[in-house]
Amino acid sequence: MEYPIWQLTTLAGGFWIAFIATVHVYVAHFAVGGGIFLVLAEQMAYRTNNIHLLNWVKKHSRFFLLLTMAFGGVTGVGIWITVALIAPEATITLIHQFVFGWSAEWVCFLGEIVALIIYYYNWDTMNRRDHIIVGCLYFVFGWFSLFLINGIVGFMLTPGEWLATKDFWDGFFNPSFWPSLFFRTFFSAACAGLFGFVTATRIPDAHARMLAVRTCSAWTILGVLAVFATGWWYVTALPPGQFEMIAFKSHRVAGFMQYFWIFGTATLIGGLLLAIRAPMRISFTMALVVLLAGQGLFGAFEFIREAGRKPYLIWDTVYSSQILKAHVPVINQQGALVRAKWAPPELKDGLTEDNRSLAGEFLFQLECSACHSIGGPMNDIRKRTAHYDADGLDALLTGLGKLNKYMPPFAGTAEERAVLARYIAEDLNGIEPFAAAETPEFEPADPAPFDPETAEYVLTAWCARGAGFYARGDNWTLLPPANILRAQLVMRGPGPALVTEDVKITYAMEDGPAGELLAYAEAPRFEAPIAATAPGNPLPVATLEGRNADGDLLATAKVVVPATDKMGCANCHSGDRAAVGSETIRNILATHDRMNRTSLSAADKVECADCHDDPIQGSEGNNERLNLSAAIHGVHAIHLTGREAETSCMKCHPATTLRGQHELLGFVCTDCHGSMEDHALSLLKGEKEAGVAAADRLLALITPVTVPNQDAINPRRPWVNEPDCLTCHVGFEPPETDKAFNKWTSNPAARYASRHDDMEAMGCGGCHGSPHAVYPATERDNVLPLQYMDEAQTMGANGNCAVCHGETMEDPIHHNGMGLN
């Protein structure tokens, strides 16, 4: 915000810092370990009186001088130039905080330069004792330079008490100082051995070459073993949150952890082979291979260490986007473009459609370019966002820095966030906005025959789920294509009676399965789970028949059994937007792997309910993980916060979800289930009450919308505690409120689809229709009341009690507020 931006695209800032810093730091460690290596190798040459070994040490000192002073000096300056241009906020913080430390380090560096020049240019003029002393002085200056730099670098990772005190010594002797110092000291020794292999290949005398190679092997092997031990000490010394990021949370870090062990093992094996099998036959190529393995070892560990301070450059102080953490609340209120001192003048007067693309480009450079390239090798933003349109990308930006703490949060207003999302999606990726889901027009279903003059029975039916949806593939199931079909058979007459014995209720789905509904033990109805798959037809119709023990047809009825796979997963996870297809599934599993360090992408079969409880699928008992509904809504609420139902609920759920009377009156999902945030909080609080520790993490990231705080939200279990109809329809009377959120049914039997009338006879759904599709609904859903009353109304409405009673009724027998006339 305070400094101009170095405009980078193909090779982003992360590439240059990673490339220059890794090479320089590798050489810098050699500069420390190589110094004492020279002294000890020189003493060994004198002790063994081996002129060939002494000549090698002389030549090695020339190689050492050129690599550490010339090349190391240039790359050191390169680091300063690079970080000053790419990470100015963090750089100036380090300079201001550690002026004394930097001054002391430069004194040590000057001492290194002077001592090494004297050491190299006085091989033949200085006596042995003084020459050794000068070499030791070089090592002392070099190690103290490491000591000082280690404190500053460690401060960036673990500032410790400095965050509160801002004291120099608290920042310098930070929690990771000592393990890091030992780790780097031992790695310096390993580097001395690795680089020693390179020059040892030029020793002409076989005996001297073998002695030099085995000396280098000892330094390499013992150094790497010590690096393994101190590296683990280093990692475990990190604060819990940072240790968790490295050890458990980041799938990407896990890969580099594997590289660390692979390259470390390769370096050990290379050192052993050169010492035992090939000291006489060592070649430059062999030495270079072992040297590069050591570079891989160190590079992998540096990446792991860097990951431990994500999303910061200086932990809890400066984000990797160069934005001070303390400034984010103000930036979110005022806007990033207003706060950025070097924003283009065209943007100072506000955002318009004309400057939208320029604003998006500047915001990308401001907040993303430190790590992401455009079409380059480092974190290519095009590849990483190829699944999203602008709306999906806006949701992703909303959740940055919350659930996935590897990236910093977006800093700016919601309008600026949308502009950045459009720039990446539309300008960089060429992805036009995905069309909003539209409610399809369904052909009306022809009602089953019914003659009110002669019919002796009425067969009524409804579904447990009025908005059945599913998502599954060949090797993955989120939700199966199922619903529960329920039915009641009524013998008509002045005293109508429910028939539950000596009858058989069957069903046949159009273009689907057929079967029998069985008597339900706890209520006077028949029901059966239906595999209601009907691709291309989310509202398939089932034809039911009731027959007596002799097989005589008593009654026929039709009812919609909704089941659709047109969920909106592809809006963010790519793939065919007509259904949840294989590409979408692969991307969902890959996202789960990345966020949870799982390996579901490689599994032969993935059933979400195997790990996450889901009452609708009969999956219970896993109290270590969130139930399926709490996990899905909890995660997505973080990304979809601040949105209306049309851009949160309806982005994911099919357009056919709400089809009945409530939709006709203008109700939306949030009126009963709460906003996306509140809905998720109610589920997560239910899990917290059940003792699922994972709920706390998500609860801490979600702020309620319709109530003052989380304490005001009542916990619930999915598919068990649902919105209660009587919250609005008190005493079954016309509504007194239009919000049913936060008052849940107490048990499964109290849910609308399971509830019955005051006579404990007729199921509510038998007269009113399936949940989410209460009559009047779509023409297709209205097939049942049209059969019996020739109008799309609640069964018995407008005085149509004769459907079951055969005559007009004067008293509201089933429940109050029936409106008989």
The verdict on 105 and 65 lying in the same domain is yes
pLDDT of residue 534: 61
> 396 with 372: CB under 8 angstroms?
no
- Give CA separation, 727 vs 102, 444, 673, 702, 722, in Å: 68, 33, 12, 26, 11
SS3 state of residue 515 = strand
Q: Is the peptide bond before 433 cis (omega within 30 degrees of 0)?
A: no
Paired tokens of 148: 């000082």
Residue 600 within a domain:
no
- Reduce the secondary structure of 27-80 to three states and give it as a string: HHHHHHHHHHHHHHHHHHHHHHCCHHHHHHHHHHHHHHHHHHHHHHHHHHHHHH
pLDDT of residue 820: 56
The verdict on 107 and 188 lying in the same domain is yes
The verdict on 277 and 220 lying in the same domain is yes
- Please give the model's pTM, rounded to 2 decimal places: 0.86
The verdict on 135 and 249 lying in the same domain is yes
Tens-place pLDDT, residues 669-685 = 898 999 999 999 999 99
The verdict on 341 and 202 lying in the same domain is no
Tens-place pLDDT, residues 735-791 = 877 778 999 999 989 999 999 988 888 999 999 999 999 999 988 999 999 999 999
Closest to 305 (Cα-Cα) out of 233, 370, 377, 376:
233
Closest to 324 (Cα-Cα) out of 151, 149, 163, 150:
163
Residue 148 within a domain:
yes
The verdict on 334 and 203 lying in the same domain is no
Tell the residue number behind the tokens 């082979």, with chain if given: 273
Q: Read out DSSP for 358-417?
A: HHHHHHHHHHTTTT--SSSSSS-HHHHTTT--HHHHHHHHHHBTTTBTTSPPP-S-HHHH
pLDDT band of residue 15 (cuts 50, 70, 90) is confident
Helices (H) and strands (E) in the chain, counts: 30, 13
Residue 208 within a domain:
yes
**Residue 117 burial (CB < 10 Å; 0-12/13-18/19+)?**
middle
Tell the residue number behind the tokens 């009963």, with chain if given: 672
- Reduce the secondary structure of 122-161 to three states and give it as a string: CCCCCCHHHHHHHHHHHHHHHHHHHHHHHHHHHHHHCCCC
Which range among 191-205, 249-263, 359-373 shows the weakest confidence by mean pLDDT? 249-263
The verdict on 293 and 328 lying in the same domain is no
pLDDT band of residue 656 (cuts 50, 70, 90) is confident
The verdict on 161 and 302 lying in the same domain is yes
The tally of domains found in the chain comes to 2
Q: What are phi and psi of 759, to 5 degrees?
A: -85, 0
The verdict on 328 and 310 lying in the same domain is no
Tens-place pLDDT, residues 105-137 = 999 999 999 999 999 999 999 999 999 999 999
Tens-place pLDDT, residues 531-587 = 866 667 788 899 999 999 999 999 999 999 988 888 888 888 888 777 788 899 999
pLDDT of residue 118: 97
The verdict on 129 and 188 lying in the same domain is yes
Beta strands in 175-319 (DSSP E): 312-314, 318-319
Res. 715: pLDDT tops 80: yes
Res. 821: pLDDT tops 70: no
Tens-place pLDDT, residues 135-182 = 999 999 999 999 999 999 999 999 999 999 999 999 999 999 999 999
Section 12-41 average pLDDT: 91
| Domain end position, chosen among 266, 285, 314 | 314
Paired tokens of 398: 């909303």
Section 307-318 average pLDDT: 91
| Domain end position, chosen among 376, 405, 428 | 428
| Domain end position, chosen among 314, 343, 369 | 314
Rounded CA gap, 559 and 544, in Å? 8
Which range among 397-401, 578-582, 591-595, 742-746 shows the weakest confidence by mean pLDDT? 578-582
Taking only Cα atoms into account, the Rg of the chain, rounded to an integer number of angstroms, comes to 36
> 617 with 707: CB under 8 angstroms?
no
- Between helix 390-399 and helix 628-639 the angle, nearest 10°, is 100
The C-alpha angle 713, 718, 724, rounded to 5 degrees, equals 65
pLDDT of residue 274: 87
Residue 553 within a domain:
no
Closest to 559 (Cα-Cα) out of 546, 543, 545, 547:
543
Q: Which domain holds residue 416?
A: 321-428
SS3 state of residue 799 = helix
- Between helix 99-121 and helix 128-157 the angle, nearest 10°, is 150
Residue 301 within a domain:
yes
Characterize 36-70 residue by residue with b for buried, 16 or more Cβ atoms within 10 angstroms of its Cβ, and e for exposed. bbbbbbbebbeeeebebbbbbbeebbeebbebbbe
Residue 499 within a domain:
no
Query: Could you tell me how far CA 634 lies from the centroid of its own chain?
Result: 12
Section 325-331 average pLDDT: 96
CATH number assigned to the domain comprising residue 225 = 1.20.1630
Res. 88: pLDDT tops 70: yes
Res. 11: pLDDT tops 90: no
The verdict on 342 and 416 lying in the same domain is yes
pLDDT band of residue 643 (cuts 50, 70, 90) is confident
Residue 810 within a domain:
no
Write the single-letter amino acid at 580: V
CATH number assigned to the domain comprising residue 347 = 1.10.760
Rounded CA gap, 338 and 701, in Å? 27
pLDDT of residue 438: 65
Residue 772 within a domain:
no
The verdict on 300 and 349 lying in the same domain is no
Tens-place pLDDT, residues 448-484 = 999 999 999 999 999 999 888 888 888 999 988 889 9
Res. 278: pLDDT tops 70: no
Closest to 753 (Cα-Cα) out of 485, 458, 481:
485
Q: What are phi and psi of 792, to 5 degrees?
A: -90, 80
Q: What is the mean pLDDT of the chain?
A: 91
Rounded CA gap, 361 and 72, in Å? 36
Q: Read out DSSP for 689-701?
A: HTT-THHHHHHTT
pLDDT of residue 62: 96
